[in-house]
Amino acid sequence: MKILVTGVAGFIGFHVAKKLLENSEHIVFGIDNINDYYDPGLKKARLEKITSKNFTFYKLDITDKESTSSFFQKNDFELVIHLAAQAGVRYSLTNPDEYIQSNIVGFLNILEACRNCSVSHLSYASSSSVYGLNETLPFSVNQNVDHPKSLYAASKKSNELMAHTYSHLFDLPTSGFRFFTVYGPWGRPDMALYIFTHAIMNNQPIKLFNNGLMKRDFTYIDDIVDGVIEASFNPPSKNTNKLWDPKRPDPGFSNAPYRILNIGNNNPVELQYFVECIEKATNKKAIKELLPMQLGDVESTFADIQAISSLTGFSPKTTLEVGVQKFVSWYREYHGI
């Protein structure tokens, strides 16, 4: 297949592209604007690890409608895996414009390009943050998600609504993936595992919000990638059976070729134990600074993965202990420690 991965220099995009290229029959194009939200050097280092002759990279900003449209018209993509976005809940509290431009305007440009170029399937990154004020665990795609706690979450909920509109109006098959706390080698420097590992190895305190009484459904990057690729190769179709009831609409699917899938570990872990895993992997004790809950955060996440398991047989394979050790080993190598 001829496949486009947006955000290919990002954490998840990089791993998805590498996995796709393990099958030498796929032709993979990657785009990214290499912005400075975090160290562009890390993004460029990721790209240098993609050495397949079947990979082509273009520096492109999806908020530029004309360039995005032209790029799609020059190529004939069968599948688009859209992972480019402005990430981060806390950053959205102080830089809201970045989220509107990248996650709303940019996503609209991708939708338009897919529609106009007859892409067979658009799969895209949503987020577990859309569950917002919901406290019914585990989080299910069949639950209402109309109460976000951050603009980042609102932008991802907007993506799901926009995708449904295009699926309904133009028969564009779309799949939205709600990722749950992704971690692993080549992770972002603004993510907890990277921040905590750096601090612990440099004898600096780590900040544990809500006094450390948080739970997260930490999901290893390889498991995320498996879910993304398997579901991307299984596009949704129009739902003409009796499961769809317009009088009692289910948020998780539609009569349009549209669906939402959780991709998580289905095993929430306390933040304190997460820190213990890092301490064990680094062989150093953490200096903990307990703080109140931060604005925009949620106390717990827990993925109901029944929908994607039924579709693809998805089952997470990597334990937190193993995943953290792999990250710390990568961290040491990358930073020459």
Answer yes or no: is pLDDT of 311 > 80.
Answer: yes
Given a cut of 90, whether residue 69 has pLDDT beyond it is: yes
Residue 132, phi then psi, degrees to nearest 5: 50, -120
Q: What is the SS3 assignment for 107?
A: helix
Return the active site residues. 152
pLDDT tens readout for residues 32-66: 999 999 999 999 999 999 999 999 999 999 999 99
Distance of CA 11 to the CA centre of its chain: 9
| Model pLDDT, residue 210 | 84
pLDDT for position 88? 87
Q: What is the pLDDT of residues 271-298, one digit of tens each?
A: 999 999 999 999 999 999 988 877 777 8
pLDDT band at 241 (very low <50, low <70, confident <90, very high): low
For 5, phi then psi, to 5°, come to: -115, 115
Contacts of 101 (CB under 8 A, 6+ apart): 63, 86
Alpha-carbon gap, residue 185 to 206, rounded angstroms: 20
Q: Which domains does the chain have, with CATH numbers?
A: 2-182+221-266+302-317 (3.40.50.720)
pLDDT in tens, 88-115: 888 898 999 999 999 999 999 999 999 9
What is the reported pTM? 0.96
Q: 64 and 113 in contact (C-beta within 8 Å)?
A: no
